[in-house]
């Protein structure tokens, strides 16, 4: 008997169609298998992390925020509301808040 492994996919709405993805265990948000989110990081149930983005340390992504491209969110940073972080770095040992459609490098 051959075991069939089911692959979960999700459409992030970026034009790539459904891609292999999973729900992050800390918060339940969608994370593409090509992205990396640390176990201690939080991705809320409506948030999305995709592309080759990274959410490291104890960073948190809340609400309907999206982190994608080559973005890196680290430290104690917070991305919330409907923020869109694309190809950017958000790193702060205290607290970084990115809100409402922030795009670009080096926020």
What is the per-residue pLDDT for 34? 98
Phi, psi for residue 48 in degrees, rounded to 5: -140, 140
Q: How confident is the model at residue 81 (pLDDT cuts 50, 70, 90)?
A: confident
Query: Is the model more confident about 97 or about 72?
Result: 72
Give residue-wise pLDDT tens across range 3-54: 777 899 999 999 999 999 999 999 999 999 999 999 999 999 999 999 999 9
Closest CA to 84 of 58, 53, 56, 57: 53
In the predicted structure, residue 103 carries a pLDDT above the cut 80: no
In the chain, where the domains are located: 18-98
What is the per-residue pLDDT for 98? 61
The two tokens of residue 49 are 């992390």
Residue whose pair of structure tokens reads 């729900």 in the numeric block: 23
Residue whose pair of structure tokens reads 């992050």 in the numeric block: 24
Q: How confident is the model at residue 97 (pLDDT cuts 50, 70, 90)?
A: low
Q: Torsion angle, CA of 85/106/93/53, rounded to 10 degrees?
A: 40
Ranges 11-25, 45-59, 65-79, 88-102: which has the least confidence: 88-102
Q: Rounded distance, CA 19 to CA 13, Å?
A: 10
């Amino acid at each position: 008997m051959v075991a069939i492994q089911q692959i979960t996919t999700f459409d992030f709405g970026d034009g790539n169609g459904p891609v292999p993805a999973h729900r992050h265990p800390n918060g339940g948000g969608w994370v593409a298998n090509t992205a990396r989110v640390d176990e201690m990081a939080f991705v809320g149930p409506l948030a999305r992390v995709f592309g080759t983005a990274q959410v490291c340390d104890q960073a948190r992504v809340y609400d309907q925020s999206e982190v994608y491209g080559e973005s890196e969110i680290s430290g104690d940073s917070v991305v919330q509301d409907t923020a869109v972080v694309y190809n950017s770095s958000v790193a702060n040992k205290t607290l970084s808040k990115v809100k409402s459609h922030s795009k670009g490098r080096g926020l």
